[in-house]
């Protein structure tokens, strides 16, 4: 018999507790709807299944980050859309701007010895740690955790504009601290 959860809060609480029945309920409740939604973008059944599976896996792996006041239905649909965008980008050829950074990075690698690259990575990490706390937290959620601005806004219960402002501020501070090659260093670490 399948467990039934009376509301979002109860389901999220059970997911955070690691209850496999809650995960099964989540998948059984939303899988088909999300596949249909993903198919509206992909027009490919297999890719749609992959996208939805990735979303469910990410939710399970990052279940401790779920907030009990999340609108789970909206969060799932947004996550499917964002996963589609990520899949789409990964399928496309390298963007001209990315090519520029990759070429510049190759030049730096040719000109720098290995210990210098380690020094650069340590420098970037140190400058990230020096960011203002809220700015650093949002920047790392975006770049290390791979959350979208919408997901961060929901998770932190702030506006999307606030998230964008913190990320912009972080990039500005890091560019000032790291000099002319800042964009290349950041691209290397957070592509």
Q: What is the average pLDDT across 14-32?
A: 89
Contact present, 49 and 87 (Cβ < 8 Å): no
Across 149-185, b (16+ Cβ under 10 Å) vs e yields bbbbbbbbeeeeebbeebbebbeebbbeebeeebbbb
Both tokens of residue 105?
């990075």
> Rounded to whole angstroms, how far apart are CA atoms 173 and 168?
9
Contact present, 75 and 11 (Cβ < 8 Å): no
Please choose, from the candidates 164, 176, 180, the residue with its C-alpha nearest in 3D space to the C-alpha of residue 130: 176
Mean per-residue pLDDT of the chain? 80
The long-range contacts involving 176-182, CB below 8 angstroms and separated by at least 24 positions, are: 177/127, 177/130, 178/123, 178/124, 178/127, 181/104, 181/108
Q: How confident is the model at residue 53 (pLDDT cuts 50, 70, 90)?
A: very high
> Rounded to whole angstroms, how far apart are CA atoms 136 and 45?
39
What would you report as the CA-atom Rg of the chain, rounded to the nearest whole angstrom? 20
Task: Determine the angle formed by the axes of helices 182-190 and 160-178, rounding to 10 degrees.
Answer: 120
Pick the more confident residue, 155 or 182: 155
Q: Is 43 left (phi over 0), alpha (psi -120 to 50) or beta?
A: left
pLDDT tens, 101-158?
556 655 655 555 444 656 777 888 888 899 999 999 998 888 877 888 888 998 889 9
> Rounded to whole angstroms, how far apart are CA atoms 115 and 123?
12
Residue 101 CA: distances (Å) to CA of 1, 46, 98: 54, 33, 5
Helices (H) and strands (E) in the chain, counts: 10, 0
Q: Domains of the chain, with CATH numbers?
A: 8-112 (1.10.1740.10), 117-190 (1.10.10.10)
Question: Percent of the chain beyond pLDDT 90?
Answer: 17
Q: What is the average pLDDT across 69-73?
A: 77
Pick the more confident residue, 75 or 184: 75
């Amino acid at each position: 018999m399948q467990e039934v959860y009376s509301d979002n809060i109860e389901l999220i609480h059970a997911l955070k507790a690691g209850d496999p029945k809650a995960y099964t309920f989540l998948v059984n409740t939303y899988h088909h709807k999300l596949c249909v939604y993903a198919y509206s973008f992909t027009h490919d059944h297999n890719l749609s299944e992959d996208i939805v599976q990735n979303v469910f896996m990410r939710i399970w792996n990052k279940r401790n980050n779920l907030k009990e006041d999340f609108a789970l239905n909206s969060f799932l649909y947004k996550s499917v859309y964002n996963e589609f965008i990520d899949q789409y980008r990964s399928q496309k050829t390298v963007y001209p701007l990315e090519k520029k950074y990759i070429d510049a990075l190759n030049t730096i690698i040719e000109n720098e010895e290995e210990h210098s690259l380690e020094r650069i990575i340590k420098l970037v990490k140190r400058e990230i740690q020096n960011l203002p706390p809220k700015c650093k937290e949002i920047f790392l959620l975006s770049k290390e955790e791979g959350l979208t601005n919408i997901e961060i806004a929901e998770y932190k219960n702030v506006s999307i504009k606030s998230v964008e402002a913190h990320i912009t501020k972080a990039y500005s501070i890091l560019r000032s601290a790291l000099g002319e090659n800042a964009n290349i260093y950041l691209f290397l670490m957070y592509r």
